[in-house]
Amino acid sequence: MNPLSAFALAVLCGGVALSCVAQTGPFDPEQWPASVDPARAVHYVVTDGGFSPPDVTWIECCTILSGGDQETVDFTIGGHKGRKVAGSYLNIADPEYGEWADEEFIDILVQVYGDAGLFSASGQARNFSFLIGTLPAGYHTAPVGGLIPLEAKNKRWNWVLFRIPNNFRPDSERYCGTIPAMAEGDTRAGGINGGTIRFQMVPGLTVRVVAFGQQGAFGTPEDINQFLPVETCDPEPETNLVGIDVAAGTSDHMVVLGGHDHTTTLVDDVGPLDDKRRAVVPDGIYLNFGITDNYLGFPCNDPQTVKVCVDYYDDPAFAGANVSFGPEAYATDDKGSIGFYPAAQRATLEGSGVWIRRSWVIPSVNLKGVNADAYTAGPRFVSNNGAVAVSRFELAILRTGTHPLAGDDPLAGCLEDPNVCTDKYGSFVELDLARDVRNGLDVGTSGADQEMIIDEAGPVADRRLAVRPAFDDGTPGFTHQYLNFAILDQALGPSSQPPARLAICVTYYDDPALAGVQFKPDVYSSIRNGLPAYAYPADSYLVTLEGTDTWRTAYWEIQDMKFNGVNQGPQAAARFAASGKVFFASVKYAVIRPCGPMAGVNQLESCKPITDVSLTVERVQDSILVSWPAAAQGFAVQVTPSLANPDWQPADAPVEVVGDRNVVSLQIGPSTEFFRLAK
């Protein structure tokens, strides 16, 4: 049976008494799949109504949660208002979660929109996992429910069915359906963070229906997971940038749109005395820009993340007038669906009397535009409480996947927050427990899975106050392996600033009892393709304890750090993970700014490990003193009798620290020795 015939048959069966349970998809997204079994228990949520339960045993009682790392937003596409994941997780709360206490399997039926949000960042099919259970560790699990094939990227609403096992916890109850006696956190709906079942790591996913049911309540995954083909469309061109410079009178495949509610006027001599420009000013509140010749692609192409860069005049007349300016509405598909950019993320003008150049990044933009007529377009801009003059407007598509321009940002120098190029935001914070210094940084909230302990540590001659992960508080199966630190009073600037290049330096105790234990910065908040996401440093960031019984330093740089934090507010950087009870006496962060008076300045430069080390060799009576900088850690002297005999051996003498040098004292042998440093 071809897909269109299957679709028509599904519609026909759905219009009868939902009795065609043997039917297979693709099913009509305007009604429940014809394969459902009304006699089985189902709890569900629909974002825009229109679905009546097929039987009284079905209950519309679930809620799609929002906030923190499980942020969701209303999103209209394909003729329906769904919920799009703006964070990393989709958490569904079922107040009647006790229904699932005796179920070996739980079926999860979802109506999803067929776009890039179904797949990995590289555009590949990925397994969908679902978090069930509660904190502490050992009392939750994330079983895989299946994957969505690439055929589902068809720019339609699709039914998808997942099936997950509901196995037994250590206390012999099932993960989903009851709450263990030692549960921690918000378990009001029987799960983690206020929910019941959480979709793991699904940034950009858009859903209209989520339903939990007994096994077989909706049919089988093989019945449901069939998809209509995508409409054909020309491939995306090998382009990614258009723009118009009104002041210079030049254009690169872009025009100022008129008509509708976005008529404009060209005005000369706008700006301060030393920077007069020609600019376009809205007659009403809207500015709209059209792309000529389908230069960036067609409305039938997939929605993309776009970056817009604008030069606008911060008129002194706007001081105190609450004038805001920025992206407002944009197309989400080629059928006329419209999305809206959050008003809170527009610029508020201060009346500084200068031209400001800044950018915005908007995900999931379709090139149909808003009232763009014969042109394609990106987002429409709005000026509220004052007509803002614009002298230049550029739009880039941030290509992904296998596109030849994937990963290229042609507007990389246009920043989302121009204040990062000033001295308005701080660039350095420090926590030093040994010296009782809390300069914009402190130990974070201790609890849940990141219980921390402050105590003295270090060698006998250098005891210091320090903090370590509790690692084991006696709870079965619960390992507190994390350290988290809170950034105080927005000391490095607001969380709204673009991802920062962050240097990190920690002073840790290299405990002889912990030789072989490792630690590193772990999960942190970032942005991926215009959407908030969690990121994880590679294993190359791991530091391994050598057991030298000294205080040592470790250094890292992370290129794309957002300060939203992970399980730590109001702000934080990366959460640290350790495989043992590693003590930190101090933690320092430094933002390396891309521009302005602090451009390229790294206030933790001295913490960087020395990788290019030269030896100093001198004779003192009957000894040879070999030395190198004390800051160069992890090096050892090796000796060979001659270069002709490259049989290098470790120097048979201890390393002593003398001033700022590591020194090895060797006896002069019968032959001439040669020396080198080795890790």
* SS3 track for 480-532: CCEECEEECCCCCCCCCCCCEEEEEEEEEECCHHHCCCEEEECCEEEEECCEE
Q: Indicate whether 229 belongs to any domain.
A: no
Q: Does 668 reside within a domain?
A: yes
**Tokens standing for 536?**
């994880």
Q: What would the mean pLDDT of 511-518 be, rounded to a whole number?
A: 97
Q: Find the CATH number of the domain harbouring 471.
A: 2.60.120
18 pLDDT tier (thresholds 50, 70, 90)? very low
Domain stop point among 167, 193, 224: 224
Q: Give how many domains the chain has, as a whole number.
A: 4
Q: How confident is residue 676, by pLDDT bands cut at 50, 70 and 90?
A: confident
Q: Among 165-169, 471-475, 547-551, which is the least confidently predicted range?
A: 471-475
Task: Give yes or no for a contact between 303 and 366, defined as CB atoms under 8 angstroms apart.
Answer: yes
The residue type of 168 is: F
Query: Which helix (H) or strand (E) covers residue 466, if one does?
Result: strand 464-469
Q: Note whether residue 471 is domain-resident.
A: yes
Average confidence (pLDDT) over 446-465: 92
Task: For Cα atoms 292, 295, 296, give the angle at the middle one, nearest 5 degrees.
Answer: 120
Q: What's the pLDDT at 5?
A: 39
Q: Which residues pair with 562 in a beta bridge?
A: 525
Provide the pLDDT confidence category of residue 12 given band limits of 50, 70 and 90.
very low
Residues 173 and 265 reside in one and the same domain: no
Give the span between the Cα atoms of 330 and 339, in whole angstroms.
5
Does residue 31 sit in the same domain as residue 106?
yes
CB 582 within 8 A of CB 521: no
Same domain for 454 and 507: yes
Give the mean model confidence (pLDDT) for residues 412-423. 93
| Average pLDDT score over the chain | 91
pLDDT for 474 equals 53
Q: Are 176 and 150 in contact (CB under 8 A)?
A: no
Cα–Cα dist 430/492, whole Å? 11
- 402 and 545, same domain (yes or no): no
Q: How confident is the model at residue 673 (pLDDT cuts 50, 70, 90)?
A: low
Residue 631 is predicted with a pLDDT of 74
User: What's the rounded Cα separation, in Å, for the pair 516 and 457?
Assistant: 18
Token pair 């329906």: residue: 80
Check residue 599 and report its DSSP letter: B
- Tell whether 553 is covered by a domain: yes
The Cα–Cα gap between 501 and 526 comes to: 11
pLDDT band at 671 (very low <50, low <70, confident <90, very high): low
Answer yes or no: is 251 within a domain: yes
Cα–Cα dist 626/286, whole Å? 72
619: exposed, middle or buried (Cβ count in 10 Å: 0-12, 13-18, 19+): exposed
- Tell me, yes or no, whether 350 and 305 share the same domain: yes
Same domain (yes/no): 633, 519? no
CATH of the domain at 360: 2.60.120.260
Residue 17 has pLDDT above 50, yes or no: no
| Same domain as 22, residue 169 | yes
Higher pLDDT, 150 or 69: 150
What average pLDDT does the segment 33-45 reach? Answer: 95
At residue 7, the pLDDT reads 39
Residue ending a domain, among 189, 224, 259, is 224
pLDDT > 70 in the chain, percent? 93
Instruction: Judge whether 186 lies within some domain.
Output: yes
What is the per-residue pLDDT for 640? Answer: 78
**Are 570 and 647 part of one and the same domain?**
no
Give residue 225's pLDDT.
97
- Which range has the worst mean pLDDT, 123-127, 431-435, 580-584? 123-127
Scanning 304-413, the segments in alpha helix (DSSP H) are none
Give CA–CA dist 605/540, Å, rounded. Answer: 20
Among 50-59, 318-327, 553-562, 626-635, where is mean pLDDT lowest? 626-635
Nearest to 544 by CA among 516, 572, 566: 516
* Same domain membership, residue 344 and residue 316: yes
pLDDT score recorded for residue 8: 39
Q: Give CA–CA dist 200/621, Å, rounded.
A: 68
Does residue 236 lie in a domain region? no
- Which long-range contacts (C-beta less than 8 Å, at least 24 apart) are formed by 477-481? 477/136, 477/137, 477/138, 477/139, 477/170, 478/136, 478/137, 478/138, 478/449, 479/137, 480/449, 480/450, 480/451, 480/452, 481/449, 481/577, 481/578, 481/579
SS (H, E, C) 190-229: CCCCCCCEEECCCCCCEEEEEEEEECCCCCCHHHHCCCCC
Residue 150: C-alpha distances to residues 224, 229, 439 (Å)? 15, 11, 50
Residue 519 clears pLDDT 80, i.e. is over it: yes
- Rounded CA-CA distance 546/632 in Å is 15
Among 383, 414, 445, which residue terminates a domain? 414
Per-residue pLDDT tens digits for 238-297: 999 999 999 999 999 999 999 999 999 999 999 999 999 999 999 999 999 999 999 999
Are residues 25 and 76 both part of a single domain? yes
Residue 645 lies in a domain: yes
The parent domain of residue 178 ranges over 3-224
Q: What's the rounded mean pLDDT across residues 650-656?
A: 82
> Per the structure block, which two tokens stand in for 161?
């069915």
Residues 115 and 201 grouped into a single domain: yes
Q: Per-residue pLDDT averaged across 548-566, rounded? A: 95
Examine the domain organization and report whether 541 and 669 are in the same domain. no
More confident residue, 343 or 49: 343
pTM over cut 0.85? no
